[in-house]
Amino acid sequence: MKKTHTRLADGRELIYFDARDDAVRDAADRRPLEPTRTASEARFDPLRGEWVVVASHRQGRTYHPPADECPLCPSRRGRLSEIPADDYEVAVFENRFPSLTGAPGPATGEPPFVSAPGAGRCEVVCFTSDHDASFARLSPGQAALVLEAWTDRSAELAELPGVEQVFCFENRGKEIGVTLGHPHGQIYAYPYVTPRTAQMMRCVEEHRAETGENLFDTVVGAETAAGTRVVLEAAHWVAFVPYAAHWPYEVHLYPRRRVPDLPALDDAARAEFPEVYLELLRRFDRIFGPDEPPTPYISAWHQAPVRAAGRDDYALHLELFTIRRSPGKLKYLAGSESAMDAFVTDVPPERAAERLREVAGK
């Protein structure tokens, strides 16, 4: 794998990832862009113990451009994009409209009005130069290169001052809120541990104190032994619908050897991942039948916080879920979910797992 670093016209970093060591990436960004000037603010909610980022500059971000104006496609004569090259394999660049940006700084203000810089970094990961593709249609080799990019960026972003957690994810589909149709994902480097991760780490710590065991190991072992909700098993990975799934169709994918983050995966797990993940994504597209449009989904890598105590007890895993509950119908987060964080699921997890097994390899 070869990495090539360059800069866009406004100073943002762009990194090409190529499978071949002899790849040459020397095209310059010829757009007349001014240096980026963005700033975010993080405000602390004392009643929930959570940070909320205010990023008003994102109101002006690109919104559903036509295919011939896609900013993630390679540049062509008369159409310059975020990618100066005329082709690429995987490209990662700093988001032009980042939620998190800038250097860390101390919290200021007096309770209950405490704020801090919305510091961090947001990157866009372009999975392929093909505008009409999807991750599910990538080859195993292409998927392996994306995994290399995720791993590389997770390691490098974790070293930035003030970064506490790195989050790699993909939003797919207009129903999810995607504003660009080109196959891509994002990476957030947060200046704090996210609420979801902090809650899981508390549960892991409590379980360790009560039983002496690791909670992730307990859950994965129990789901594998029960088998009812297992969707796919391989030598180094196992995927299952969780017993208390929140979403209509939700799959958790774990490496069989517990590791805290992507850089810690061993070579065997890396080699097997593309086939396993591609099969899961292709099954998701078959859930609702051939007459339905591609299934909208969120695919989220959960990694241990960068510097938190007990990070080695955390288990790297991927959560893949859709908000579509049946053909033509979406699962909306209405009163109970949005106001109380109290989920009510529409599809029994056992039935969801059965359906995901039914559509295997078709």
Rounded CA separation 320/302 (Å): 11
| CA dist 193 → 99, 104, 150, 215 (Å) | 15, 14, 19, 19
CB atoms within 10 A of CB 14: 22
- Give ∠ CA 244-295-220 in degrees, rounded to 5: 30
The rounded Cα 178 to chain-centroid distance in angstroms is 13
The answer to whether residue 59 scores a pLDDT higher than 80 is no
Helix ranges (DSSP H) in 212-298: 215-226, 267-286
pLDDT at 19: 97
Indicate the burial class of 182 (C-beta count within 10 angstroms; 0-12, 13-18, 19 or more).
buried
pLDDT band at 39 (very low <50, low <70, confident <90, very high): confident
**Catalytic site positions:** 184
Token representation of residue 341: 């964080």
The answer to whether residue 31 scores a pLDDT higher than 90 is yes
pLDDT at 6: 98
pLDDT at 35: 87
Share of residues in the chain with pLDDT > 90 (%): 93
Cα–Cα nearest to 191, from 11, 10, 44: 44
The answer to whether residue 144 scores a pLDDT higher than 90 is yes
Token representation of residue 262: 């992507």
The answer to whether residue 81 scores a pLDDT higher than 80 is yes
pLDDT band at 91 (very low <50, low <70, confident <90, very high): very high
Strand (E) or helix (H) holding 145: helix 140-157
**DSSP per position, 107-138:** -BS-TT--EEE--SEEEEEE--S-TT--GGGS
Terminal Cα distance for the chain, rounded: 32
Rounded CA separation 140/111 (Å): 51
Q: What is the CA radius of gyration of the chain?
A: 21
Rounded CA separation 140/278 (Å): 8
pLDDT at 186: 98
pLDDT band at 20 (very low <50, low <70, confident <90, very high): very high
pLDDT band at 171 (very low <50, low <70, confident <90, very high): very high
Indicate the burial class of 111 (C-beta count within 10 angstroms; 0-12, 13-18, 19 or more).
exposed
pLDDT band at 227 (very low <50, low <70, confident <90, very high): very high
The answer to whether residue 270 scores a pLDDT higher than 90 is yes
3-state secondary structure of 57: helix
DSSP state of 186: E
pLDDT at 3: 98
pLDDT at 161: 95
The answer to whether residue 133 scores a pLDDT higher than 90 is yes
Indicate the burial class of 202 (C-beta count within 10 angstroms; 0-12, 13-18, 19 or more).
exposed
User: Once rounded to an integer, what is the mean pLDDT over residues 235-245?
Assistant: 98
CATH placement of domain 196-358: 3.30.428.10
Helix ranges (DSSP H) in 158-303: 195-211, 215-226, 267-286
User: Once rounded to an integer, what is the mean pLDDT over residues 303-315?
Assistant: 95
Rounded CA separation 290/292 (Å): 6
The answer to whether residue 362 scores a pLDDT higher than 80 is no
User: Once rounded to an integer, what is the mean pLDDT over residues 349-360?
Assistant: 98
Token representation of residue 263: 């850089």
316-343 residue pLDDT tens: 999 999 999 999 999 999 999 999 999 9
Residues of the chain with CATH 3.30.428.10: 2-192, 196-358
* Side-chain-side CA neighbours of residue 252 (13 Å): 20
Cβ proximity of 188 and 287 under 8 Å: no
State the chain's mean pLDDT as an integer.
Answer: 96
pTM above 0.95, yes or no: yes
Architecture per CATH, 2-192: 2-Layer Sandwich (3.30)
